[in-house]
Amino acid sequence: MPQRTWFINGINSGLGRIAPEVQSYPLDSGLNSRVYPRSVASIQNGVQATFQIGELARRTALSIDAIRFYERRKLLPPASRSAGRFRLYTPDAIERLRFVRRMQGLGFSLQEIKELMGVRADRTHACSAVRQFLKTKLAAVTVRIRELQQLETELNADLRKCNRALKQQGGKTCGCPVLEGEERTSNA
C-alpha cells in the first residue's frame, strides 16, 4: 500500500494567521499503522499500556473465545473498556493467562487455578500453600496412575484371550471370548 502524505499548516501564533510553510508527515494508514497502534509496549506518562483482545489472543496463543471464557470464570479481572466499548487489557493479563495455561498443563482444574491465583497474590505465604497444592495433586496423579496400570493389565489380558481364540480357530471367525465372558458375567 503506498504511503499517503498528510499536510499540516502551521499557525503563526503571533499574528493569528496561517504561516506559509507547510509541514508534511507520512501517513501510514495500514493495518499496523502508527495512527492506530496495535499495542503500546511500555508505560508512558504514568499510564499503563493497554491493547485489545485480538492482540492479547495473539500474544498468548489463545482464541478470543477462550480469553472471554477465562474472564467469565474470573481468572482474568474484567477488562476496562475503550470509548468504543472494546476490551482493553494490560500486560498483567498476558502473565495471568500464561500462568493459567501452565497450571492447566500440570493438571490443575480451573477452580484450583483460581485458588492458586489467590495464593499467588499473597507472596509471603505462597510457598507453603503451593507446596500443599502440589502434594495434593501429586497424590491424585499417583492414584490415577495406579488405576491406569490396572486398566492396562485388564486390557492386555483381554487382548491375550482374543489372540488365543483366533489362533485356535486358525484365523477364521469365531465367537469373541471377551464379549462372551461379559455376557456370562452379566447373566450371573
Taking only the tens of pLDDT, the chain with its 188 residues reads 444 444 344 433 344 444 444 444 454 444 444 444 444 444 444 557 888 999 999 999 999 999 999 999 999 988 888 888 888 999 999 999 999 999 999 889 999 999 998 888 777 878 888 899 899 999 999 999 999 999 999 999 999 988 888 888 876 777 788 888 765 555 55
Tell me, yes or no, whether 51 and 108 share the same domain: yes
Residue 134 maps to a domain: no
Same domain for 27 and 69 = no
Tell me if 119 sits within 8 A of 129, measured CB to CB. yes
C-alpha cell at 60: 498468548
One-letter identity of residue 141: V
Range of the domain at 166: 143-181
Q: Write down the pTM of the prediction.
A: 0.59
- Asked if 7 and 67 sit in the same domain, the reply is no
Question: Does 71 share its domain with 105?
Answer: yes
Number of compact structural domains in the chain: 3
Q: In this structure, are 85 and 154 located in the same domain? A: no
Contact 119, 133 (CB under 8 A): yes
> Quick one: how far is CA 61 from the chain centroid?
7
Residues 55 and 108 both lie in one domain:
yes
Q: Is residue 162 part of a domain?
A: yes
| Res 154: pLDDT | 95
Structural domain contains residue 155: yes
Collapsing DSSP states into helix, strand and coil, what is residue 28?
Answer: coil
Instruction: Report yes or no on 148 lying in a domain.
Output: yes
Scanning the structure block, which residue is given the C-alpha cell 483482545?
53
